[in-house]
Homo-oligomer: A and B are copies of this chain.
Amino acid sequence: MSTRFSDRMRSMKPSTIREMLKMTERPDVISFAGGLPAPELFPVDDIRVAAERVLVEAGAQAFQYGVTQGIAPLREQIAVEMADRGIACDADDILITTGSQQGLDLVGKIFIDAGDAILTENPTYLAAIQSFQCFQARFQAVPTDDEGIIPEAVGELAAQTRFRFLYVIPNFQNPTGRSLSLARRHRLMDIARRHDLTIIEDDPYGRLRYRGEHLPPLKSLDTDGRVIYLSTFSKTVAPGFRTAWAVATKDVLDKLIIAKQAADLHTSSFDQLVLDRYLRDFDNRKHVARVCAAYGERYGVMADALAAQMPEGFSWTQPEGGMFLWMTGPEGFDTLPLFRRAIEHGVAFVPGGDFFVGDEGRQCLRLNFSNAQPDDIRRGIERLAGLCRDSLGN
């Protein structure tokens, strides 16, 4: 039989990198490639107690169909957490999503028609590109530097073209680890207002700050409801629950809810209840502080090892939180052949090209430091630095 797929699937190829990354699961490979939180830090014992309480107390209702927006007690707790981040909202302004990934999918659905232009950082989160590609968006990259995207560049682009939205990860961006500076946050909001631009603020990593002070989310500076804020429990509790949320004004939230109803009816009732109970009965702030301490230590080990070992011509970002740093090799350096050799030598990273909308980033690579032990980080960077030196010598 002849199967014809939709046009959108033609642009959605399986990532070659993702295929290669399967090789990094070999036990002899020290992997800086994934984007996994450290499972040994998950609050498993507390989750177990919370789950047992739900199983005893909620009974059958834990397994029945639920409302699309998500269970009210969990949304109420998220509203409190939002206030803590400087975002004034209540439970009605929140939609529970099946991971932040679903938030991206729903945002794509409600805003993007085929051929519509959107603005993104470049490089940006690989799976956001995929989500928006699925709705046949045209991508326009915004110039960035060490302080994140340049607001004036957004203004210049928005003056020429009507963009459906700007997608931005202001805190410890994936893949670069960079954060948008405070001054730029304010300027970006001014420019967005001037050009009537919708902003999708993706903030999975914001709470994972191990140095410096928290910066206000764009949503907290939003006076006219143009920011849709996405965040998740994946990095502050655990990703396996696939439980995250979106905060938006009523007109947008109503559309997101309609789109979610068609997408999966609602997020797992059981997972929502267990998370709700866990957050009520245990001190998740303490838990996040422990995670930050561990990630901060791991980042420090990686930064020291890089400083000690990497040959000249390589530079890397110095994030104050999150899970990634971003390295740039000398002009003409290609991280794709390096990746193949690195796997053979038992160390893995993600080559930079896949994070770019266009054909860029070949001399870049992403390193994850959240899911490796300090000793492994030292050994892994030693291997990587050796291979980089060899590459330059060739």
Which residues on A are within 8 Å of B, measured CB to CB?
A: 1-9, 12-14, 36-37, 39-40, 42, 44, 47-48, 51-52, 55-56, 59-66, 98-99, 101-102, 104-105, 109-114, 116, 127, 130-131, 133-135, 164, 193, 196, 198, 224-226, 234, 237-242, 251-252, 254-255, 257-259, 261-271, 274
Contact = CB atoms under 8 A, between A and B. Distances in A.
A64 to B, nearest CB: 5
Contacts of A164: 4
Contact of A39 (B64, B237, B274): B64
A376 B56 CA distance: 28
Given A64-B36, A242-B267, A1 B225 contact: yes
A71 to B, nearest CB: 11
Contacts of A66: 240
Contacts of A104: 262
A61 B99 CA distance: 17
Majority secondary structure, A binding face: helix
Contacts of A51: 51, 55
28 contacts: A4-B111, A6-B112, A8-B109, A8-B113, A9-B258, A12-B259, A36-B65, A39-B63, A42-B60, A44-B55, A44-B59, A44-B60, A60-B238, A63-B239, A64-B238, A98-B242, A98-B264, A101-B263, A105-B262, A109-B134, A127-B261, A239-B269, A242-B264, A242-B265, A264-B264, A268-B268, A268-B271, A270-B270
Contacts of A241: 63, 268-270
A234 B262 CA distance: 16
A113 to B, nearest CB: 5
A116 B224 CA distance: 38
